[in-house]
Structure 1
Amino acid sequence: MASTSSPISAVAERYARSLFELASESKAVAKVESDLSSFEKMLGSSADLNRLIKSPVFSADEQFKAIDAVVSKAKIGGLTGNFLRVVARNRRLFAVPGMIGAFRRIAAEARGEVSADVVSAHALTAAQQTELKAALKSVAGKDVSINVTVDPSLLGGLIVKMGSRQIDTSLQTKLNSLKLALKEVG
Structure 2
Amino acid sequence: MTSGVAGRYASALFDLAKEEKAVPAVASALAGLAKSISESADLKRLFSSPVFKSEDQMAAIEALSAKGGMSGLALNFVKLLCENRRLTALPGAIDAFQALVAEDKGEVVADVTSAEKLTAAQLKDLAAALKARVGKDVQLVAKTDASLLGGLTVKIGSTLIDNSLKTKLQNLKVAMKGNG
TM-score (norm. length: structure 1) = 0.90
The total of aligned residue pairs comes to 180
| Distance in 1 (alpha carbons) for counterparts of 2:170 and 2:6 | 33
Give, as a single letter, the amino acid of the residue that structure 2 aligns with 1:26.
E
Give, as a single letter, the amino acid of the residue that structure 2 aligns with 1:163.
G
Identify unmatched segments of 5+ residues in structure 1. Answer: 5-9
Give, as a single letter, the amino acid of the residue that structure 1 aligns with 2:156.
M
2:112 alignment counterpart: 118
1:51 alignment counterpart: 45
8 A Cα contact 1:137 1:143, kept in partner: yes
2:7 is the alignment partner of 1:22: no
2:76 is the alignment partner of 1:82: yes
8 A Cα contact 2:113 2:144, kept in partner: yes
Q: State the 1:147 CA deviation.
A: 0.6
Give, as a single letter, the amino acid of the residue that structure 2 aligns with 1:53.
F
Q: Identify the match of residue 157 of structure 1 among 129, 136, 151.
A: 151
8 A Cα contact 1:63 1:89, kept in partner: no
| Distance in 2 (alpha carbons) for counterparts of 1:72 and 1:89 | 19
Listed one character per residue, the Cα deviations across residues 8-40 of structure 1 (whole Å, up to 9, x for unaligned) are xx1111111111122222322222222212111
Give, as a single letter, the amino acid of the residue that structure 2 aligns with 1:27.
K
Q: Secondary structure at the match of 2:150?
A: coil
1:7 alignment counterpart: none
Listed one character per residue, the Cα deviations across residues 137-165 of structure 1 (whole Å, up to 9, x for unaligned) are 12211111111111122111110000111
Listed one character per residue, the Cα deviations across residues 120-143 of structure 1 (whole Å, up to 9, x for unaligned) are 112222222121111111221111
Q: State the 1:60 CA deviation.
A: 2.1
Give, as a single letter, the amino acid of the residue that structure 2 aligns with 1:170.
S
Q: State the 1:70 CA deviation.
A: 2.1
Residues 129-140 of structure 1 mapped to structure 2, 5 A cutoff? 129-140=123-134
Identify unmatched segments of 5+ residues in structure 2. Answer: none
1:40 alignment counterpart: 34
TM-score (norm. length: structure 2) = 0.92
Q: State the 1:3 CA deviation.
A: 6.4
Q: Secondary structure at the match of 1:95?
A: helix
The runs of at least 4 aligned residues of structure 1 exceeding 6 Å deviation read none
1:94 alignment counterpart: 88
1:177 alignment counterpart: 171
Q: How many percent of aligned residue pairs carry the same amino acid?
A: 52
Q: Secondary structure at the match of 1:159?
A: strand
Q: Secondary structure at the match of 1:107?
A: helix
| Distance in 2 (alpha carbons) for counterparts of 1:56 and 1:130 | 38
Q: State the 1:84 CA deviation.
A: 1.0
2:99 is the alignment partner of 1:105: yes
Aligned CA RMSD, in angstroms, stands at 1.5
